[in-house]
Amino acid sequence: MIPGNAKKTQRGAKHHWWPKSLSQFWLNKSGKVNRISSNGEIISSNPKEFAHISNGHNFIYDSPNSWEGTIEPFFDNSDRNMRSIVKDLEEFRSWNSFEKRYMYATQSEEHQNIDLLRECILSLVVRSPFYRNRLNNLVIGFRGEIPKKESKMLITSNMGSAFRELTRNSVRCGRLAILFSDEAEFIYGDGVYNNISSSVYYLSNLQIVIPITPNIAVVWANPRSYMSQPLVQSLPIDRRTVLMINNAIQIYSKDYIFYRNEMPELIEPFTRNEHLTYSNNQNPLYKFVDHLIRYVP
């Protein structure tokens, strides 16, 4: 287990898996975010009221003791930089110097910015209820059914280890593509399309597609073979591609999805109220990502 962090543990803290520094970019004209549940219930509220788990990143015992701790500080760097990451992504479409800043970056500050983007993406995936569910299944596989409090601490411990190791292994890993949409809005959910393992912290054959704002999504993949340059590319996508990504969000989500203005039509997998995944590599999103990362210059 990861030792208790020196930072004082706040019992009952609401730990956001969709950080406020990012969800603020999903505000509608009323200054709220829309949340729709798998049963079709819609609620609009300040985003800080959504997407959190009580003591989600804490080690809490019945009585306070020196073993209590938290992994919440693990995510401070990514959360602190979400705003600047979004700003950079938003500027990509107008920057003629895009290639100069990113294509040939090696040891430069720009390359570190790419690694920061990777870290931010991992922080979103690892904190998500989808990944927590994978960790819970891992715990059950090793320990069987155990008390909820103990299970929650084991999930927290594994989450901290996963984030630390995945972030270390993400440096200069794979290629990224920034997708811009002016035709339709992305949605977000308590699960996003990814194939990160809950037990092996290597990123070979990685695929992640994650909406960052209602108009920007990031693809990150690390296939066995791909064109090494550019490190990052950007491209506009049409409504059909947005729908493909949004459908994947619904498949991987269980309880909630979020949107700004365009309410999605719920599909049957989401209404099951389960975290589902694509069963093989023949799904349309896998093929889209594979072609984009491996072959598109």
What string of pLDDT tens digits covers the 297 residues of the chain?
454 444 566 766 788 999 999 999 999 999 999 999 999 999 999 989 999 988 878 877 766 666 678 889 999 999 999 999 999 898 876 654 444 444 433 333 346 789 999 999 999 999 999 999 999 999 888 888 888 778 888 899 999 999 999 999 999 899 999 999 999 999 999 999 999 999 889 999 999 999 999 999 999 999 887 777 778 888 899 999 999 999 999 999 999 999 999 999 999 999 999 999 998 888 999 999 999 988 766
Q: Which residues pair with 54 in a beta bridge?
A: 14
Report d(CA 211, CA 100) in Å as an integer: 25
Structure-token pair, residue 293: 């990362």
Residue 41 makes CB contacts below 8 A (sequence gap 6+) with: none
Write down the pLDDT at residue 63: 65
Q: How far is CA 274 from CA 93, 215, 252, 270, in A?
A: 36, 26, 8, 7
Question: Is 218 strand, coil or helix?
Answer: strand
Write down the pLDDT at residue 231: 82
Q: Dihedral through CA 43, CA 155, CA 247, CA 47, nearest 10? A: 30
Report d(CA 36, CA 266) in Å as an integer: 9
Write down the pLDDT at residue 180: 95
Residue 201 makes CB contacts below 8 A (sequence gap 6+) with: 161, 162, 165, 166, 169
Residue 270: what are its φ and ψ, rounded to 5°? Answer: -70, -40
